Structure 1
Amino acid sequence: MTFNKTNTIKTQALIIGSGLAGSTAALILADKGLEVTLITSEKELLSGNSPLAQGGIVYKAAKENPKELEGDILNAGHNLNNHWAVRHLARKGPEIVDKILIDRLKIPFAKIKSDNAANAWDLAREGGHHSPCILHCADYTGLAIMQGVTKAVASHPNIKVLTQHTAIDLLTIHHHSQSKTYRYQVINKCCGAHVFDENNSTVQTILADVTILASGGAGQIFLHTTNNPSVIGSAFAMASRALVRMTNLEYVQFHPTAFFDHAPSRFLITEAMRGEGARLINAKGERFMKKYDQREELAPRDIVSQAIVNELLTSGSPCVFLDTKTLKTDPKERFPTIYEHCLKSGIDIRKEPIPVVPAAHYFCGGILTNLWGETSLNNLYSIGECSCTGLHGANRLASTSLLEALVWGYQAAEHINKNITSLRLSNRLLESISDWKYIGNEKNDDPALIAQDWTTIRSTTWNYVGIIRSHARLRRAFEELRDLSTHVHDFYKLTTINKSLIDLFHGCQSAYVLTQAAMRNPKKLGCHNMID
């Protein structure tokens, strides 16, 4: 139903983000007949971080033992995990993979090429896992999954997809209702979002009974990252302004092996290569992981990343190397995407090692939710990387990211379907929500100014809130980001609204809340590597 107000749309469910979590939720909600509006800031659905995932998705070992996976997740997360979330993923995950990815979408996961093991899955092993338990499609698993998921989303009659739509702010009755009847209510509720339509440069008011944040993490606030350019922490920024509770934001995982070059986003070199026998060596050609952990290359990501940084600081070298000559399989066949990328850069990985460095990868914390994806703000759910059920604790276990997105996309949708009657908001309440107020009218969005602000954000977070942290570094980051935040806020209010300005505002605020979270935690643990 469309309201009479200009640029106002009413939908039953608004999903912000079209990755695996958001798209899964959209499918499950739409299957039950709900009217779903799915928005993405990108030009197409097949974008974001989900298609970039190479290694695979955790499934189950040949000798199924959920407790082993639980133990691996807890060990990787330094036991800061929510045990209920860990148990839920380990036990329900394989069932949901079967139901959605294998039975419904027919994702072509690799199988063992053997007459003795016909139709058996070719399960991979990665760092931190005791057993091979990871389904994969060569080294483009995320892309293969998302091709199947986006095809189903695009063809579903109950899902309306809006591309090049960037969420600006969450709508709440305490902040946006023009009726005193609702503003004086003790319980606050989310009612949708203000959204910038890049196609015609207008701001839409999308009103919804239920809003789901699924816009991913904030890797692009760091100087070096594996993340898609659109991943700038918009969910964290919007949630903080709406006073939604967040937790564990200081635990940012840095992937140990990103291709060493000068691209804006670092190309990921999947952990599965180390699972298949590749070895890390320093500039002298020496293996070094044994000095840091008995599991060597198969230690969890935080340990490997910190070991590499220590090697770089000790030697003064710009990178370390991943020696693939020890691979158990042909790299051209098993890792075709990586093989082609390296070959274009002049490196034949069958003969030469790959230069690698750590890069910001995924957040372990985010918007606090329960096991159904509910947040501290009524009618708002959060799923995927922007959420925190406590699953990861202080560090993510390899290849749990796609499974987390799938499981909680499914779980949140199931919960909403069961409770949609009680979640419905009255038309009277929704009609009281104010449209976007255009305040800024100055045409001062100079690209040079915005680029310089982004340089400040990324350099500050990388140098002071990165892999190695100290109290002095965090204080410096806080002071610099506090000043920049004030400047950007004023700039935002005065300037005509546009996509680049919204992204800058979100990126600055997400960097600021991350720094504050890190300052509040003096304890060295996992990804939060405090040296003092």
Structure 2
Amino acid sequence: MPDFRNFDVIILGTGISGLASAITAAEQGLKVGIFSKSGDLEDTNTYHAQGGIVGHSDEDTPQLFADDILKAGDYLNSREAVKILSETGPSLVDEYLVDKIKVGFNRKEDGSLDLTREAVHSIRRIYHEKDRTGKAIETDMLNYVQKSDNIQIFPFHMAIDLISVCHHSKDPQARYKENRVIGVYILNCETKEVKPIFAGAVILATGGIGTIYQHTSNPAVATGDGIAMAYQVGASIINAEFVQFHPTTLYHRDAENFLISEAVRGEGAILLNRHGDAFMKRYNPSLKDLAPRDEVARSIYMEMEKCGTSYVYLDTPHMNIDLPSHFPSISEKCMEIGLDISKDPIPVVPAAHYFCGGIKVDMNGQTTVPGLYAVGETACTGVHGANRLASVSLLEGLVCGLKTGRHIADNLENPGFDLRRSIPAWIYPVNEESVDPILIKSDTHTIQALMWNYVGIIRSPKRLSRALSDLNYHSHRIDRFYREAGITRELVELRNSVLTATVITRAAYNNKKSQGCHYMVTRDGSFEKS
């Protein structure tokens, strides 16, 4: 376990936003400690992103880009955040990812960057590396970061709780001072030892919440850790009802969580029901298969109900492109289960994909609690509004990460020795119970089914009321289990999952109007549009 005096900045997470924060903080001479609960540093949502990241296009303007973001977000977006992102984002992609880190985005024969298009984008403006853009960005950024003398990375180390002055200091006078986050209790997942680690700034870059749902495109690490820790320390969380469901994940028992990128529809694939009917023209006659994700996901959900099926088809055989060349990962995955996408349509089903809400921050990553920052999917700048535009999440993670690292360097305030000394060591249970993995797995599956059925693509006051009641029961039982049992990663993830699920469900229950990816049905089956 590293010594607490080693760090100016603690970063929790190794996706694009956390790594971008580390780069600019280290460039300013700060000592950075990055902690990942996984042994695989690439085990992030960034790595699994297929489509791409918005870059520079000669056809584009900041206003045109901003208009597309606002349209996808149902105009609930923060105008200021959208303006900053649309004006600065593409140039930062070129400066950092293309020129400095040298990510190998696809290029045309003339050497220019190849651009693709996804739903709701007016033009082609998306940089990509076939259908594995996230993998290319994650791998190259990690390699770049690992060369820095000012950055240390610790796999198998999981944050349990944020350390704050008012909540943890043994100095009785501390409770009368402004609350401030000064560090993190970190669990060594291999030794089960917990130690306090201190820094002048803590950045939550913990990613998404997808695995609190039964069906998700997210990796298993996406358990809402940042949301749960921020909630417990009193940070504001906003727009939590807006959970985006990706319309198309591969439907097959041997292909759980595998995303079929929106870029496939951007290149011409069409959704079909079991009867071969291209049904999106009935739900959105103008945009059809390139409608916003929330509309497409709901349309698929309704079409499955009408037809009595568990999936629909994505018609790829009619596309006039070399599919294995354009989408090698998708093609290879489908071949593994006996599907040739140049000949066979792909069975697809919607799944929880992206959390549009999160910890309330400004574009410098500052939360409502001093010393605590958040970037990436766990944060909410307001860029996405009620629904996210495709290929903007990686862009937001990069831009806000870079800005956050710089802001911290200009405003760093490290905790003094007396304050650090007033923080107690982690308290282990006196009569520590052993952790039964079957109980954790069962509770996890219960929460996932509850969220999918009651707080999923289509919601109602009755379903949400039932969800709150059930989550309240599980929260008390899981909290007691957490306090009495020996600490493990799986147990902490369970606690975080039920806390995050409760935050999302409460927000959904309190918002009776449908907007973006929050869709509320009334008792008579109709819905309220805000």
Change in 2 beyond 3 A, CA 1:448/1:440: farther
Out of 308, 311, 322, the position equivalent to 2:314 is: 322
Instruction: Tell me how far apart the structure 1 counterparts of residues 108 and 119 of structure 2 sit (CA, whole Å).
Output: 21
SS at match of 1:235: helix
Residues 148-167 of structure 1, C-alpha deviation per residue, up to 9 Å, x if partnerless?
10001112111111101111
Deviation at 1:434, TM superposition (A): 1.6
Out of 301, 308, 312, the position equivalent to 1:309 is: 301
Is 1:37 paired with 2:33?
A: yes
Cα RMSD (Å) of the superposition? 1.3
Instruction: Tell me how far apart the structure 2 counterparts of residues 60 and 242 of structure 1 sit (CA, whole Å).
Output: 39
Residues 309-342 of structure 1, C-alpha deviation per residue, up to 9 Å, x if partnerless?
0100111011001011232311010000000000
Amino acid at match of 1:77: G
Out of 172, 181, 196, the position equivalent to 1:180 is: 172
The answer for the alignment partner of 1:478 in structure 2 is 468
Residues 159-202 of structure 1, C-alpha deviation per residue, up to 9 Å, x if partnerless?
111101111001100111111232211x2100111111012110
Out of 198, 201, 205, the position equivalent to 2:196 is: 205
Instruction: Tell me how far apart the structure 1 counterparts of residues 346 and 112 of structure 2 sit (CA, whole Å).
Output: 31
Contact 2:271–2:315 (8 Å) recurs in 1: yes
Is 1:279 paired with 2:270?
A: yes
SS at match of 2:159: strand
The answer for the alignment partner of 1:103 in structure 2 is 99
Instruction: Tell me how far apart the structure 2 counterparts of residues 108 and 442 of structure 1 sit (CA, whole Å).
Output: 50
Q: 56-65 vs 398-407, which deviates more? A: 56-65
SS at match of 1:360: strand
Change in 2 beyond 3 A, CA 1:394/1:263: farther
Aligned length: 521
The answer for the alignment partner of 1:13 in structure 2 is 9
Instruction: Tell me how far apart the structure 2 counterparts of residues 297 and 472 of structure 1 sit (CA, whole Å).
Output: 31
Out of 74, 77, 80, the position equivalent to 1:81 is: 77
Change in 2 beyond 3 A, CA 1:440/1:119: farther
Out of 501, 513, 527, the position equivalent to 1:523 is: 513
Out of 465, 484, 491, the position equivalent to 2:455 is: 465
Amino acid at match of 1:229: A
The answer for the alignment partner of 1:514 in structure 2 is 504
The answer for the alignment partner of 2:47 in structure 1 is 51
Contact 2:208–2:378 (8 Å) recurs in 1: yes
Structure 1 unaligned residues grouped into runs of 5+? none
Contact 1:60–1:66 (8 Å) recurs in 2: no
Q: 273-282 vs 254-263, which deviates more? A: 254-263
Percent identity, please.
41
Matches within 5 A, 1:127-276: 127-185=119-177, 187-263=178-254, 265-276=256-267
Instruction: Tell me how far apart the structure 1 counterparts of residues 438 and 214 of structure 2 sit (CA, whole Å).
Output: 17
Instruction: Tell me how far apart the structure 2 counterparts of residues 100 and 394 of structure 1 sit (CA, whole Å).
Output: 29
SS at match of 2:354: strand
Out of 412, 422, 427, the position equivalent to 2:404 is: 412
Contact 2:216–2:257 (8 Å) recurs in 1: yes
Matches within 5 A, 1:357-368: 357-368=349-360
Deviation at 1:441, TM superposition (A): 3.6
Instruction: Tell me how far apart the structure 2 counterparts of residues 211 and 327 of structure 1 sit (CA, whole Å).
Output: 47
Change in 2 beyond 3 A, CA 1:264/1:335: closer
Instruction: Tell me how far apart the structure 1 counterparts of residues 51 and 2 of structure 2 sit (CA, whole Å).
Output: 43
Instruction: Tell me how far apart the structure 1 counterparts of residues 398 and 233 of structure 2 sit (CA, whole Å).
Output: 26
Instruction: Tell me how far apart the structure 2 counterparts of residues 69 and 300 of structure 1 sit (CA, whole Å).
Output: 15
Deviation at 1:10, TM superposition (A): 4.7
Contact 2:219–2:257 (8 Å) recurs in 1: no
The answer for the alignment partner of 1:94 in structure 2 is 90
Contact 2:183–2:201 (8 Å) recurs in 1: yes
Instruction: Tell me how far apart the structure 2 counterparts of residues 512 and 531 of structure 1 sit (CA, whole Å).
Output: 20
Instruction: Tell me how far apart the structure 2 counterparts of residues 298 and 497 of structure 1 sit (CA, whole Å).
Output: 46
SS at match of 1:71: helix
Change in 2 beyond 3 A, CA 1:301/1:440: farther
Is 1:340 paired with 2:332?
A: yes
SS at match of 2:482: helix
Instruction: Tell me how far apart the structure 1 counterparts of residues 467 and 123 of structure 2 sit (CA, whole Å).
Output: 41
The answer for the alignment partner of 2:485 in structure 1 is 495
SS at match of 2:115: coil
Is 1:22 paired with 2:18?
A: yes
Contact 2:250–2:256 (8 Å) recurs in 1: no
Instruction: Tell me how far apart the structure 1 counterparts of residues 393 and 74 of structure 2 sit (CA, whole Å).
Output: 17
Change in 2 beyond 3 A, CA 1:74/1:478: same
Contact 1:228–1:265 (8 Å) recurs in 2: no
Instruction: Tell me how far apart the structure 1 counterparts of residues 118 and 320 of structure 2 sit (CA, whole Å).
Output: 14
SS at match of 1:193: strand
Amino acid at match of 2:279: F
Report the TM-score when normalising by structure 1: 0.96
Change in 2 beyond 3 A, CA 1:162/1:9: farther
Instruction: Tell me how far apart the structure 2 counterparts of residues 279 and 441 of structure 1 sit (CA, whole Å).
Output: 59
Instruction: Tell me how far apart the structure 2 counterparts of residues 2 and 270 of structure 1 sit (CA, whole Å).
Output: 40
The answer for the alignment partner of 2:527 in structure 1 is none
